[in-house]
Amino acid sequence: MSKVKSKRIGFRIDMTPMVDVAFLLLTFFMLTTKFRPPEPVQIDLPSSHAEQKVPESDILTVSVSGDNRYFMGVSSQLSRTRIFERVVQPRLEAAGMSGIAVTDSLQGFKLAEVFPVRKNELPHFVTAARFANQRLRPVVKADANADFEAVNHVLKLFKESNILTFNLVTVLEKEVR
């Protein structure tokens, strides 16, 4: 015992297993990480006790920011292309934009996870999204401090376009009752 204690200088531990595990974890995290796209606006979600998760694919997100601006996002690029062709392209062409410029803005639109939408344009975009993908699941992501009127506008719009089931995004409230 006493001999081991006195020799404590320059000892070596085989760290190979630890390094192995570290690399395994590193590879795992590197491969599974999906970077969150930068959001154009910070949305402070309301809290609730709902534990259901957002569907993984085919989502149409309508966001309402705290200052009552609207944003829309569609998860698949194919749907985005279709929305562009239906809503944005005719408008750009009417404004006298050349074919190349239109294709250029389509490329930009395809990559936009979330894009701002004006209140009066929202119905066109929602209808176009519904045409683009029938199975699209609508999700409302509104700021807790957004006016009810702004959110109600979206809910009414959904009702008008016969979307009767949708989700409200919330964060889990920790309080247990």
- Interface contacts to other proteins, rule CB under 8 A: 12, 14-16, 18-19, 22-23, 25-26, 29-30, 32-33, 35-36, 45-54, 56, 64, 139, 141-152, 155, 158-160, 162, 164-173, 175, 177
Residues 6+ apart with CB under 8 A from 168: 48, 139, 140, 141, 142
**Torsion over CA of 153, 159, 161 and 165, rounded to 10 degrees?**
110
Q: How far is the CB of 116 from other proteins (least distance, A)?
A: 18
CA 31 – CA 166 distance, rounded (Å): 32
Residue among 121 and 147 whose Cβ is closer to other proteins:
147
Q: How far is the CB of 48 from other proteins (least distance, A)?
A: 4
Q: How far is the CB of 67 from other proteins (least distance, A)?
A: 12
In one-letter notation, the amino acid at residue 53 is K
Nearest to 129 by CA among 68, 81, 177: 81
Residue among 100 and 148 whose Cβ is closer to other proteins:
148
Residues in the chain: 177
Residue among 47 and 77 whose Cβ is closer to other proteins:
47
Q: How far is the CB of 132 from other proteins (least distance, A)?
A: 22
Residue among 32 and 120 whose Cβ is closer to other proteins:
32
In one-letter notation, the amino acid at residue 51 is E
